[in-house]
Amino acid sequence: MKRTLRHLKKEATEKALAGVAFNLTLEHGLDGFTVEDIVQQVGCSRRTFANYFTCKEEAVALGALSVPNTAELEHLITEIPDHASLLEIMYELVKMQLTSELIGRLHQLVILSRTYPVLEPHYLAAMHRLQTQAQETLLDLSNGQNDEIYTYLLISAIYGTVLPLIEGRLNVLLPGKQIPAGSGSDAVPFEQFMETVFDHLRKGF
């Protein structure tokens, strides 16, 4: 469904508020700024903020997802061949969605959540939102041609693996990170990790 100008403006406002909240947390810590600081930077009112978020913690978590790649993602999705399998569509979607910038911001959010436990439920909600967006996109792209249960199973398998990756529970080198010289680390590069995940899926794991 084509989004209206009103919807696009609402999305832009939400992203702007969330992005500022996230950046302020990185700069000053969660306790180092107020909602008033957020709205002043964006140029809107506290009432506008309240239309989108229940608290600044919710805005901070969503800010980790606020990367400027939506238009590019939508364009690339149209380039996926019509005959592509659901698994290959998912493969392309994950490569488009889980950019180096997004993975890095989510990892920063995890670190922030360990310092400020009040952020943790909002981090989990942000991850759920990311997964839900992927589900909706995949269901739209499959156009009813694939079993819905299989679609949800595929999504859950991918994002169930991404969660411990972002939280640092897997020995994977995140995008943009380098192994310190002489560390002897056997961390798997992120790209190799994702290829391994999809190899398992293609084999039916």
Domain residue ranges in the chain: 1-63, 67-205
pTM for this entry: 0.81
Read off the pLDDT of residues 57-79 as tens digits, 9 standing for 90 and up. 999 999 998 765 555 555 556 66
Of 45 and 149, more confident: 45
* CA–CA gap between residue 44 and residue 39 (Å, rounded): 5
Instruction: Give me the CATH code for the 1-63 domain, please.
Output: 1.10.10
8 A C-beta contact, residue 17 and residue 39: yes
The burial class, CB within 10 Å (0-12 / 13-18 / 19+), for 105 is buried
8 A C-beta contact, residue 22 and residue 60: yes
Q: Would you say residue 129 has pLDDT above 80?
A: yes
Average pLDDT, the chain: 84
Q: What's the confidence (pLDDT) of residue 85?
A: 81
Query: Predicted confidence band at 1 (pLDDT cuts at 50, 70, 90)?
Result: very low
Size of the chain in residues: 205
Q: Would you say residue 142 has pLDDT above 80?
A: no
Q: What's the confidence (pLDDT) of residue 69?
A: 52
Q: Would you say residue 82 has pLDDT above 70?
A: no
